[in-house]
Amino acid sequence: MCRKLYSSYFIAILMIIIGLGFSCNQVSQKQLPVYNPIDVNPLLVDKSKQNVDENHTIANFSLTNQNGEVITQEDYRNKVYVADFIFTRCPSICPIMTNNMAKIQNIFKENDDIKFLSMSVTPVIDSVSVLRDYANRNDVIDTKWNITTGSKKHIYELARKSFFAVVDQGDGGLQDFIHTETFILVDTKKQIRGFYDGTNDEDVKRLVREINVLIDETNN
């Protein structure tokens, strides 16, 4: 009788250990989705891209950062990065977003494979000197985080056709204006892997977790 009880107890413990191992393995193998235009709310996708169901990547870009340097895809080659769209005079969501981006920057401060990209939606106002002051006030690490200005049409096309960050349609003209709280996670292949509310603490925590998932995926 004792032997049967011992045997049953041993089997139960063994099953728990196997179950825990399987569970941990499942977590370690978790992968983030790859977003194509068809996977995103159509309101966020430029009409020219709405039916695309594969191979979407962030388009090439040419922007100017807080140090007057030209920033392109080459500066993000083989990097995981988080992108957003802000403007320095924003009194509402942008300060919260920038504060949260700074927190994420500091979490990954020692990891050279993680970078950040902020694009001004009022590029005429946000000159290099204005961005430099904004970067200083928000503890931006220049080697990790580019806060950029450039052609309004170019930036707005990136928002609508590459990053899918904006609900309304537009042409990047004088009267066009976008305002979004979205953080976008991009992998080393220039693919979108996640969208997050940059003003929401829980979503920011989720972003941090999923950056780590993406790091593991990249390294394996």
At 166 the pLDDT is 78
Architecture of domain 37-219: 3-Layer(aba) Sandwich (3.40)
Spatial distance between the Cα atoms of 52 and 59, rounded to a whole number of angstroms: 14
User: What are the residue ranges spanned by the domains of the chain?
Assistant: 1-30, 37-219
pTM: 0.84
Longest dimension (CA), the chain: 86
Token code pair at residue 202: 């829980």
pLDDT tens by residue, 19-73: 444 333 343 447 899 999 999 988 888 888 888 989 999 999 999 999 999 999 9
Confidence of residue 168 (pLDDT cuts 50, 70, 90): low
Token code pair at residue 176: 């066009």
Q: Give SS3 for 116.
A: strand
Strands 114-120 and 80-86: parallel
Mean pLDDT of 152-174: 80
Spatial distance between the Cα atoms of 204 and 136, rounded to a whole number of angstroms: 22
Residue with token string 């994420």? 104
Residues 164 and 44: beta-carbon distance below 8 Å: yes
Confidence of residue 174 (pLDDT cuts 50, 70, 90): low
Write the single-letter amino acid at 59: A
Q: In what order do the strands lie in the sheet with 114-120?
A: 145-148, 114-120, 80-86, 182-186, 192-197
pLDDT tens by residue, 69-86: 999 999 999 999 999 999
Spatial distance between the Cα atoms of 199 and 99, rounded to a whole number of angstroms: 9
